[in-house]
Amino acid sequence: MNASNPYAPPKAAVRDVADPDAADEPAGRGIRLVAAILDGIILGAMVYTPLIFTGVFAGIMSARAGRVVTPHFLGVAGLVACIGLIAWIWLTVLFVSRNGQSIGKKLLGIKVVRKDGSKASLARIFWLRNVVNIIISIIPFYGLIDVLLIFGEARQCIHDKIADTIVVRA
């Protein structure tokens, strides 16, 4: 019997779609600041902590050996730091591509979306929010002005306006 079962559940592909009627609540200024600080702390922990531990270990080994063995550990320290950086980049790209969240934003429950509430692409977030912003930051005082615009009614920094994005509660 090749007849399909009339009692079987539907086999439609279901995915999350932005509801145009639902207004996303903008993330608070303070929580955005804390997310940025968390991102910096996490990056530092994943890159610099291995360097510190490797340096301490090299010092201990030098003391026990009675001679300086630190140069041997410099390559190891660099390698461990690179592995930490690659892991941080991988996690950040993974979270940003999935839901527009950096590691800090994910921990605090906020995300980057397009101004109309639709998902912001990884390319938009990377190129417009980050790369273009870094290039423009050669202008004196740009970084300060960019950050201070968060106190406007729209809660958008210049990099948000360039990328046509907003930061909302996830």
Q: How far, in Å, are 22, 61, 78, 130, 131 from residue 137 at the CA level? A: 35, 44, 29, 10, 10
Q: Please tell me whether residue 166 adopts helix, strand or coil conformation.
A: strand
| pLDDT recorded at residue 37 | 95
| pLDDT recorded at residue 92 | 94
Domains of the chain, residue spans: 29-169
| pLDDT recorded at residue 41 | 96
Instruction: Decide: residue 10, CB within 10 A, 0-12 exposed, 13-18 middle, 19+ buried.
Output: exposed
pTM for this prediction: 0.76
| pLDDT recorded at residue 70 | 66
82 conformational bin, left if phi > 0, alpha if psi -120 to 50, beta if neither = alpha
The low-confidence residues of the chain, meaning pLDDT below 70, are 1-2, 14-23, 69-70, 72
| pLDDT recorded at residue 61 | 79
| pLDDT recorded at residue 142 | 93
- The residues that bridge with 165 in the sheet, in sequence order, are 114
Q: Please tell me whether residue 62 adopts helix, strand or coil conformation.
A: helix
